[in-house]
Amino acid sequence: MSSQKFKEIAKLLLDAEIEKKEVLRITADKIPELTVDEAYLIQKELINLKIQQGLSVVGPKMGLTSRAKMKQMNVEEPIYGYIFDNMVVQEGSSLSLSELIHPKVEAEIAFVLDKDLAGPAISGVQVLAATKYVLPALEIIDSRYENFQFTLPDVIADNTSSARVVFGNQLRRPEELELDLVGTTLSINGEIRALGAGGAVLGHPAHSVAMLANMLHREGSKLKAGQIILTGGITEAILLENGDEVVAKFDQLGQVSIKIT
């Protein structure tokens, strides 16, 4: 497959994001046999286009980190993408549905490292030793594909549905908490719609960061100090509607909220 073709698909996905128009998944018509490695090449072209437009990477994110989602997509390994500065929404503020296509929200724990971490063979213990603090987050995902329907390579190419993120204000040292036991509820308009604990993320959110460092190593990349890393959904993702008041509460980590208008 030519790199020109990958660039064209990256541009199509970027235009869909900017114009808020869903497109047919790549594997339905353009490249039915698209592989995971090729999908990451398309994702890289998409990231480069965003950087050329003046956007900055806030940090990488892991997706499909729950056993249930991996089973549903029939995959052995989670996937990663990138959060950009124009995706960050202030905690407690509002987000207009008109900015997105068909957004869903999930509750996550984010990490900030104070040292770079380069794979291979990074462990969760090494991640915790390199972590400056952890904080709660809401991730708003928004597939650019029709009806949120895709295969694994499609969603990788689409920067793993990254769209918006809200970070909480409470920063904690990782040793102050047992992150796998951090209970989390995701409420909409006062009703708990999903719940879980940090252990839903690959057994422990630090494992997700370790796996990310090891996956990035394969492409000659690493986790960098100061980046904010999303570790993956503790809860399932819930479709957002106009007027929704979304609040995620995390045991010992505080809460994160957003109003959908």
Is 255 a binding residue for ligand 0L1 by CB under 6 A? The answer is no
- Would you say 124 or 233 has its CB closer to Mg ion? 233
Residue 136 binding: pick among ligand 0L1, Mg ion, none (C-beta 5-8 Å cut-off by kind): none
Please, what is the minimum distance in Å from the beta carbon of residue 157 to ligand 0L1? 11
Backbone angles phi, psi at 251, to 5 degrees: -55, 125
Strand extents, DSSP E, 93-250: 94-95, 104-113, 131-141, 162-167, 183-188, 191-197, 228-233, 238-239, 245-250
Residue 160 binding: pick among ligand 0L1, Mg ion, none (C-beta 5-8 Å cut-off by kind): ligand 0L1
Is 60 a binding residue for Mg ion by CB under 5 A? The answer is no
Supply angle C-alpha 186, 138, 100, rounded to 5. Answer: 110
End-to-end CA distance of the chain: 42
Helices (H), 192-261: 205-218
* Short-list 106, 104, 62, CA closest to 82: 62
Please, what is the minimum distance in Å from the beta carbon of residue 58 to Mg ion? 14
Is 39 a binding residue for ligand 0L1 by CB under 6 A? The answer is no
- The window from 137-145, 182-190, 220-228, 248-256 that contacts Mg ion (CB under 5 A) reads 137-145
Is 139 a binding residue for Mg ion by CB under 5 A? The answer is yes
**CA distance linking residue 152 with residue 36, whole number of Å:** 7
Selected from 27, 160, 231, 255, the binder of ligand 0L1 by CB under 6 A is 160
The residue at minimum Cβ distance from Mg ion is 139
The residue at minimum Cβ distance from ligand 0L1 is 63
**CA distance linking residue 208 with residue 202, whole number of Å:** 6
Selected from 17, 45, 139, 244, the binder of ligand 0L1 by CB under 6 A is 139
Q: Which residues bind ligand 0L1 (CB under 6 A)?
A: 63-64, 139, 141, 143, 155, 160-161, 232-233, 237
